[in-house]
Amino acid sequence: MLRTLGVAEGERVFALAPRIPGLYVAALGTLKSGAVFCPLFPAFGPEPIRTRMEIGEARALVTTAALYARKIAPLRAALPRLEHVLLADREPPPVEGPGVHALWPLLEAASPAFEACRTNPEDPALLHFTSGTTGAPKGAVHVHAAVIAHHVTGRYALDLHPDDVYWCTADPGWVTGTSYGIIAPLTNGVTMIVDEEEFDAPRWYAVLQDEAVTVWYTAPTAVRMLMKAGAELPKRYRLDALRFAASVGEPLNPEAVLWGRDALGLPFHDNWWQTETGGIMIANFASMDIKAGSMGKPIPGVEAAIVRRAENGDVEMAAEPGTPGELALKPGWPSMFRGYLGEDERYRKCFRSGWYLSGDLARRDRDGYYWFVGRGDDVIKSAGHLIALRQDHAPAAQGAGARAARGRHVDARAGAAAVSPGLDIPRAHALELLRGMLRIRRFEEKCAELYSATKIRGFLHLYIGEEAIAVGAMRALTPEDAVVATYREHGHALARGVPMERIMAEMYGKAEGCCRGRGGSMHLFDAATRFYGGNAIVAGGLPLAVGLALAAKLDGRREAA
């Protein structure tokens, strides 16, 4: 059908749709035709969609009538290369527009005889866009050879077998939902579950029970929302078919790993990879003892190391176990991205001295387990030492009586944990700080829930795992001091005293929001508390902070910014 429309090999076919059959048909048909499949997250607003389709020079788009009318039709003039829009609704309403077709009638009219394109291993197959927080989004190009990594990591990192019933909850708009929600399960011959609905704890447990899911791959945000729903809820369902659970997307804190063991009868196996790696690189295998909070060990064939950048720009490997540094990989694995579309120099900067530099900071212990420390822009350097704003996936506040499980093996049957020594501070003060941290955590969990339900749109940068920083920093300031935050500023705003209801209204884009609905998640502002905003551009708030501090100094006011 794509060939009939004139879509040639190597041209980009975008998909903007919920988890409906047409999305999966589009993915497989695009790959078989030799075109490049590029999925988009359906909760994106029009501007992120336009940017990505413009960079990718979209030739065709598979979407729904509702999404087209709301997010694409107003952009058509800005997308001159977009010739075909294929509406994947089973019975789409009449839609006016150039090149707009109903997908299913075209498929029914197409010839059943088709020979898949004979691609070369290095022919482009997938285009995934990664974060544009520090500039325009980057289009990571993956080739057909990536299927080797998808298959092998599905087998060894997710322990997929042909008789498994497998459920990956990730949306195909993200790389996980394509690599492990479409390709890996099909190449491994497993039965694959797709659920169109958004997160709902009882529904998810019912899917696990009714479909007899054996392998489950989900996200830490979802795990935390299940934890919030309580340990009693899963006891109402038969989950004895489930034999392996894994997580990816952000660091999984030890508390969540242990909760899985207690509530579900088995721990979550965290793993690590990026859009650029295309597939799982480091994992807690089914055969391994889990160290709660660790991302595991490199998969066979992947060489990883902790490196530091020298003054001349080269990198050197960290000599001692436990030393934090940048996580690096030796290039050559099949799913390694082959470039950022149209940005060769940006791509070249990812490699140095024969290593791919991930931008993630980590450490490796004496047993070869890797531990996430933070992103490069979440770490400061003091007296030659790296100091992370997050440590070892650990939660900022685990609640009264909770135990921190760092650096200990966790057996699936009975894990051990160690209690970290605390500070000698008055109990009342400690409880006040804890309440502040829990308030931030609960707010962020609710934001994640609403975002998953597409109630909150656009970008959402959560402050989970950093609550102690905001609470501690705001306690050290006076009401006269000024605060300028980054794009991840919900915690700062709450701790500073910006009313919670005004922040949530801002998330919804309502006029009652602290920026009258015009700022969203990354642009909170409240003059009454001298909170001068989050800033979507990294370091964009520095001139403002310097100006506020300089003004205070010139006026003779003892205020900090």
Q: Verify that 375 and 449 share a domain, yes or no.
A: no
Of 53-57, 345-349, 478-482, 547-551, the one with minimum mean pLDDT is: 478-482
Q: Do 383 and 432 have their domain in common?
A: no
Domain boundary among 65, 92, 109: 109
* Segments in 352-489 forming alpha helices (H): 427-452, 467-475
Whether residue 146 sits in one domain with residue 105: no
Compare 180 and 133 and report the one with higher pLDDT: 180
Q: Are residues 91 and 147 in the same domain?
A: no
Q: CA distances (Å), 122 to each of 33, 142, 143, 267, in order? A: 15, 9, 5, 38
Q: Which helix (H) or strand (E) holds 355?
A: strand 355-364
Lowest mean pLDDT across 65-74, 354-363, 417-426, 514-523: 417-426
Has residue 414 been placed in a domain?
no
Q: In CATH, what number is assigned to the domain containing residue 456?
A: 3.40.50.970
Which of 109, 129, 153 represents a domain boundary (last residue)? 109
78 pLDDT exceeds 50?
A: yes
Cα 325 to Cα 318: distance, rounded to the nearest angstrom: 7
Confidence of residue 376 (pLDDT cuts 50, 70, 90): low
- For position 394, what pLDDT does the model report? 38
Among 56, 85, 109, residue at a domain's last position = 109
Look at residue 89 and tell me if it is in a domain. Answer: yes
pLDDT in the model for residue 384: 38
Same domain, 153 and 98: no
Express each pLDDT in 443-480 by its tens digit: 988 888 787 677 887 777 888 888 999 888 888 888 88
User: CA 245, 249, 252 angle in degrees (round to 5)?
Assistant: 60
The residue with greater pLDDT, 31 or 523, is 31
Rounded alpha-carbon distances, angstroms, from residue 146 to 4, 20, 130, 277, 461: 27, 24, 17, 10, 29
* Model pLDDT, residue 375: 66
Cβ atoms of 333 and 288 within 8 Å: the answer is no
Report whether pLDDT(76) > 80: yes
Alpha-carbon distance 504 to 21, whole Å?
34
192 and 303, same domain (yes or no):
yes
Number of structural domains (the chain) is 3
- b/e map 487-510, b = 16+ CB within 10 Å: bbbbbbbbbbebebebbbbbbebe
- Residues 158 and 61 placed together within one structural domain of the fold: no
CA-nearest of 370, 373, 212 to 299 is 370
Q: Please tell me which residue, 520 or 161, carries the higher pLDDT value.
A: 161
pLDDT at 401: 33
Same domain, 279 and 380: yes
The reported pLDDT for the residue numbered 404 is: 32
Q: Residue 392: is its pLDDT beyond 50?
A: no
β pairing state of 290-291 and 58-63: unpaired
Average pLDDT for 347-351:
94
1 lies in a domain? no
Largest CA-CA distance found in the chain, in angstroms, rounded: 81
**Distance separating alpha carbons of residues 292 and 444, to the nearest angstrom:** 23
Is 178 contained in some domain? yes
- If asked whether residues 168 and 267 sit together in one domain, one would say yes
Asked if 46 and 74 touch (Cβ cutoff 8 Å), the reply is: yes
Q: Which residue has the higher pLDDT, 178 or 538?
A: 178
Residues 307/208, Cβ–Cβ less than 8 Å: no
Q: Of 18-27, 325-334, 408-417, 495-504, which gets the smallest average pLDDT?
A: 408-417
Looking at the structure, do residues 219 and 353 belong to the same domain, yes or no?
yes
137-190 pLDDT, tens digit per residue, is 899 999 999 999 999 999 999 999 999 999 999 999 989 999 999 999 999 999
* Residue 44 predicted with pLDDT over 90: no
d(CA 226, CA 169): 13
Does the residue 559 lie in any domain?
no
205-209: long-range pairs with CB below 8 Å, 24+: 205/233, 205/234, 205/236, 205/237, 205/239, 206/237, 207/167, 208/167, 208/237, 208/239, 208/241, 208/242, 209/237, 209/238, 209/239, 209/241
Residue 64 pLDDT > 50: yes
Mean pLDDT of the chain: 86
Same domain, 376 and 445: no
Q: What is the pLDDT of residues 258-268, one digit of tens each?
A: 899 889 999 99
pLDDT tens, residue by residue, 174-231: 899 999 999 999 999 999 999 999 889 999 999 999 999 999 999 988 998 899 888 8
CATH number, position 382: 3.40.50.12780
Q: Look-up: residue for tokens 């990594």?
A: 149
**Section 22-31 average pLDDT:** 96
Residue 132 within a domain: no
Q: Answer whether residue 380 shows pLDDT above 50.
A: no
Report if residue 409 sits inside a domain: no
Give the residue with greater pLDDT, 12 vs 465.
12
Q: Report pLDDT for 487.
A: 83
Please give the torsion angle defined by the CA atoms of residues 149, 153, 154 and 159, in that order, rounded to the nearest 10 degrees.
Answer: 160
Whether residues 534 and 461 fall in one domain: yes
Q: Which domain holds residue 35?
A: 12-109
Q: Is residue 164 a contact partner of residue 136, using CB atoms and an 8 Å limit? A: no
Residue 7 lies in a domain: no
Contact 62, 23 (CB under 8 A): yes
pLDDT at 424: 57
CB 110 within 8 A of CB 95: no
